[in-house]
Chain A
Amino acid sequence: MSLNIFKLCAMPRLLPVVLAALALLTPAAHAAVPGITGTSFDLRAEASFISQPDGSMVYSWGYGCNTAPSSTAFVPAAIARASCPSMQIPGPTLIVQENTEFKVTLTNRLPVGAGNTSILFPGLQLLSTNGGTTGLLTQEATTASPVTYTLIAKSPGTRAYYSGTQGDLQVEMGLYGAVIVLPASGGSSACRALAPTLPDGQTDFRLAASAYDHAATCYDREYLFQFSEIDPKIHRQAEEQVAAIAACVPPDPASGLSPCPKTLNVVTENYHPAYFMINGRSMPDDMDANYQTQVYPHQPYNGNPHMHPGELVLLRIIGQGRWQHPFHEHGNHVRVLARDGNLILSAADPTRLAGPLLFTTTTTPGQALDGIFYWTGKGLNWDVYGHGYTGDPSVCIPDANGYYTQLANGNGQPNGVPNSAATEPNYYEWCQDHKKALEKSPFGAVAGGGPVTLPDANILTDGAWYGGSPYLGPDANTRATGSTPIPPAGTVVNSPGTEAGFAFMWHSHNEREITTNDIFPGGMMMMMLVDPQAFTIDESL
């Protein structure tokens, strides 16, 4: 039992520290796409500090709410404790309707010497501006004069927003965020409408029925991931220069001393980032809850995806910062729906999608991508639920796609009621593999006669997200491991008794970026959990 702990302590890196931090994680911390909705957004740009898992506080600039939005402005409504601080990284996610005008007012509260600031909205139409002063790329907010942008989105989808002033410094300092445009119709009528619950009775956390006004863009769950980097050298220079300007007492002109500095002069090359973040946080912080203001007052959004087998998951992926990141999703391919709000359809047949299938959805600075992912275990050739043991009552009635989605009629065929099996523990099981054994001579109550012999558990090291057995769900897990307790624990964050999901790492494949200032694990990494159907995915926690 102590074997695994011994190994952890022997690791030459800060792994024990990270695992200790993991143990403090909110047990079920999920995400959805939280943000503020409406037709008028009152934002400000301000300085503060954000935290990294190595304990450092990094001086940063971010957008935030100038006035607190009303409680009904926070969506999805089911996510509790939502708030919008005066500075956050990424900036507040703005959720708007296609073809509906909206305004964004920006008040400049950056420190003296930082100069003007602004917001660019690529992929949206800027109808007019009010206030502020003319800048190089767009109207800018001075410290004295806020600017109001009047905008409209002519297509749905995900977009980036970021500063259009001194971008090499201001975007690096954290002035970026996301705009989500929902389809004007509310979503395609071919997709399941928004409702309080999904067919399985669990809460529906979606913002719309589909990503675009198109029948092929239905989804059941959605996540937003924004990728960015931090070069601490740049942030330190900004912090020191801002402090120097604030503290400087103007010298006597006769003294011959230099006058006080009035503006910043931060060197932003050579670029050498040490922190790599998803939604403004590095691993493992990104896996904590949304809106955890006591711990992350200025980093409200997390990256902690969960899904049930068969659920269509919409991924909204934005490259902020200045580097590309090969974002690799373990577990399956992603069908790219659109780039920058442009749905990619077949030239010959616009009812069909034409985006590529990618297992690595590389991010590009300023570019947004929408894609669909799902996991079902199709084609594994063994039953992931450990069915097939003596006395197993489970059934799997294949629908037209081969999955268990409808209960049986009298003749062992699907009963014709869509999703009637949604509350079954093996909803969306791949029926062709039903009762197929994995193990030759199993240890425990799962089917035998399969192709593989598992190694003795004592020569394996368990990961923190290991469910406890090769199987999905606590029922299968308990049957597979029998009465002997699972040797070396360390299964901290995927409880074998209540969750036992399948964990898949979603991370930047420029592996150097899954570190936090030379510490592994860290950086641009998340664990995605495919949870058994019976497990409640509560994005509101």
Chain B
Amino acid sequence: MRRIQLYRWWLPTLLFLIPALPIAAQSFRVQCPTYTPAHPNPTTLPPGTPLAPGAIKCQQISGGDGFATMGDGTQTYLFGFGPLSGVQDIQNGLPGTEIVATFNAVGGANGAVGLVNPATGAVDVAPIMNLGVMNANMPAPTMAIEEDDEFFLTLTNVGMIMRPDLFEQHTVHFHGYPNASSFYDGVPDASVAINIGGSFTYYYLAPDAGTYFWHCHVTPPEHLQMGMVGQLYVRPRQNRVSGSLYDGLVAQQADRRTACYPHSTTTPFYDQTNPDILCSSPLPSNHGAVTGGGTYAYNDGDASTAYDVEYPIQIHGFDPNFHFVGMTFNPEGFVDMKDKYFLLNGRSYPDTIKPGPQLTQSADGASHFSQPLPTIISIPTGGKALLRISDLDVTEFQTLASLGIPMHVVGINARLLRDLAGNDLTYYTNSITVGGGESVDVILDACAARATGGSCTTPIPSGTYYLYTPNLDHLSNDAENFGGLMTEVHICTSVDPLTKVGVGCK
């Protein structure tokens, strides 16, 4: 019924524009092309042409509202983004970014919800609305891509069912993206925002590796406080290097897009005396003959950011008064905003250590997956965990401390801590302090002493350790005086890096 009305309204405009308008003027649609100019069909390339690195990745999310469960059991209203693709992966605590074949699998467990025709991106509205309404996740679906990937992110605005007074648009701001385009930067005042009943596909070639994050940028004091915040990280192409890591980083100087130094006509082919002032990966000044094959946080060229398992952790805070007002059409107080719930990946202790996704009963009487991510850090014996920490609190700074396992800060604001002469500027600490809009990469090394080759000679004993906040007032769930920003770190015999499931954990 609704679709027919929409079509009728469009008709005169459509007829006028038909010669120039692309495809159909359907408001909801996804985009996930099988081939692009940067990743063309390999069968059409001249023989011997190397394939372009990276891949095409896609994700669809809904912008709307929902409910979440706080640490003291309170059911809290939120604005949020929910998954409309990669749904099974999200429920298993994984990012919802998929390769083309998975995204475009009609009816697939991780496919785009509602997809009817992968070639055109045409969707059936009903499955989108059936899942999308009240589907808000806290935090929003995680996005994870590799350098050299092209990322198509479709935001579908399903409306906020509890706020019929709002014609609210939503956007996605890719926070921290260098040389971002204004059109895809997601700031509604600076460009465009998608209306209710429409889809907008953001397009980006992956930026330099690091821990970024994303969030809605419509009325940020409201939408961020209400929960429209999510995680986003880019893995380095060094993960694909099997030979010498240093040579791999030198090879990156050949492509000006990935180079730190200008081209030179003499040997070597790059001018190391003149780095770009915003260069993200200078060549390391002191490097051994380290070979690749592992996973790294950055293109370090010397394995200094190697890790075994990665854990995204997003810090946030909720003001329960504000959320109640947000549900009940009352004027909002920004001056009086005061967080009382403190969240790691959308949950407060002890929910942070409960495995599996969390469900919340919403105003429609149904239970929805509201908070898919626990924050259980499992590290294999003598191994390393990379904590990709971001903070989207809108009122105050937050501190996260590690009890028992030192923190090695290797990156700040999605950039490796290294000076432009290639010297190491990473440091060790027991706590990190972040404000809203900041991110930090911390490696927890479960090894007290290593041999020169890197193998662990004195592992930290197996057991349960803690990440918690020394802002002791944030160790609470509103009136409950113990909760908030706290979670457990387990040293296990082994940990599956994909599923994060640990074996032999104490």
Contacts and interface: CB of A to CB of B under 8 A. Distances in A.
A354 B421 CA distance: 8
A331 B193 contact: no
B201 interface: yes
Interface string B326-359: 0000011111110000000000000000000000
B413 A360 contact: yes
A381 B38 CA distance: 8
B335 A460 contact: no
B180 A332 contact: yes
Interface string A120-162: 0000000000000000000000000000000000000000000
Interface stretch (A191-199, A249-257, A344-352, A417-425): A344-352
A7 B23 CA distance: 27
A269 interface: no
Interface string B258-294: 0100111000000100011110100001000000000
A362 B121 CA distance: 42
A437 B37 contact: yes
A444 B275 CA distance: 39
B185 A272 contact: no
Contact of A520 (B271, B334, B397): B334
A353 interface: yes
Given A451-B37, A455-B199, A512-B334, A333 B181 contact: no
A347 B421 CA distance: 9
B150 A451 contact: yes
Given A453-B31, A455-B200, A510 B195 contact: no
A292 interface: no
Nearest to B207: A379
Nearest to B437: A509
A408 B264 CA distance: 18
Interface in A386-427: 398-402
B224 A451 contact: no
A122 B437 CA distance: 28
Interface stretch (B94-102, B162-170, B243-251, B459-467): B162-170
Contacts of B453: none
Contacts of A381: 38, 150, 205
B198 interface: yes
B495 interface: no
Contacts of B425: 354, 356
Interface stretch (B60-68, B110-118, B171-179, B497-505): B171-179
Contacts of B150: 381, 451
Interface in A488-535: 502-505, 509-512, 514-515, 517-518, 520-521, 527, 530
Contacts of A520: 219, 221-222, 334
Interface string A343-385: 0001111011110111110100000000010111111111010
B335 A272 contact: yes
A6 to B, nearest CB: 9
B189 A505 contact: yes
Interface string B7-21: 000000100010011
A10 interface: yes
B454 interface: no
Nearest to A216: B277
B151 to A, nearest CB: 11
Contact of B188 (A216, A359, A461, A511): A461
Contacts of A455: 27, 29, 194, 198-201
Contacts of B278: 332-333, 335, 357, 372, 374
A437 B276 CA distance: 27
A346 B190 contact: no
Chain A CB count within 10 A is highest, among B27, B179, B201, for: B179
Interface string A467-491: 1011000000000001010000000
Contacts of B36: 450-451
- The B contact surface, by secondary structure, is loop
A346 B395 contact: no
A456 B192 CA distance: 12
Contact of A451 (B20, B33, B262, B413): B33
Contacts of B417: 356
B168 to A, nearest CB: 9
Contact of A358 (B166, B169, B184, B413): B413
B256 interface: yes
**How many residues of B sit at the interface, in one of the four size bands?**
35 or more
Interface stretch (A35-43, A75-83, A89-97, A322-330): A322-330
B195 A460 contact: yes
- The A contact surface, by secondary structure, is loop
Contact of A509 (B169, B198, B412, B436): B436
Chain A CB count within 10 A is highest, among B22, B181, B280, for: B181
Interface in A423-481: 432, 436-444, 449-456, 458-467, 469-470
A232 to B, nearest CB: 9
A104 interface: no
Given A511-B224, A511-B436, A348 B181 contact: no
A55 interface: no
Interface string A1-37: 0000001001011000000000000000000000000
Nearest to B333: A518
A58 interface: no
B174 to A, nearest CB: 10
B480 interface: no
Contact of A503 (B29, B189, B264, B331): B189
Nearest to B282: A352
Given A326-B437, A330-B180, A356-B417, A510 B185 contact: no
A346 B437 contact: no
A464 B188 CA distance: 8
Given A359-B414, A453-B23, A511-B394, A503 B181 contact: no
Contacts of A272: 335-336
B220 interface: yes
Interface string A262-303: 000000000011100000000000000000000000000000
A453 B22 contact: yes
B337 A512 contact: yes
Contacts of A357: 278, 280, 413, 415
Given A326-B438, A400-B271, A511-B224, A449 B23 contact: no
B175 A450 contact: no
A463 B179 contact: no
Contacts of A441: 22-23
14 contacts: A273-B335, A274-B335, A348-B423, A352-B275, A353-B420, A358-B412, A400-B271, A438-B203, A449-B37, A451-B37, A461-B188, A502-B181, A504-B187, A509-B436
Given A216-B420, A463-B193, A520-B219, 7 more contacts: A358-B415, A432-B256, A437-B37, A470-B182, A482-B20, A505-B189, A518-B335
Can you list the 8 inter-chain pairs with the closest CB atoms, starting with the nearest? A509-B437, A354-B419, A326-B435, A402-B256, A503-B190, A400-B262, A459-B198, A470-B183
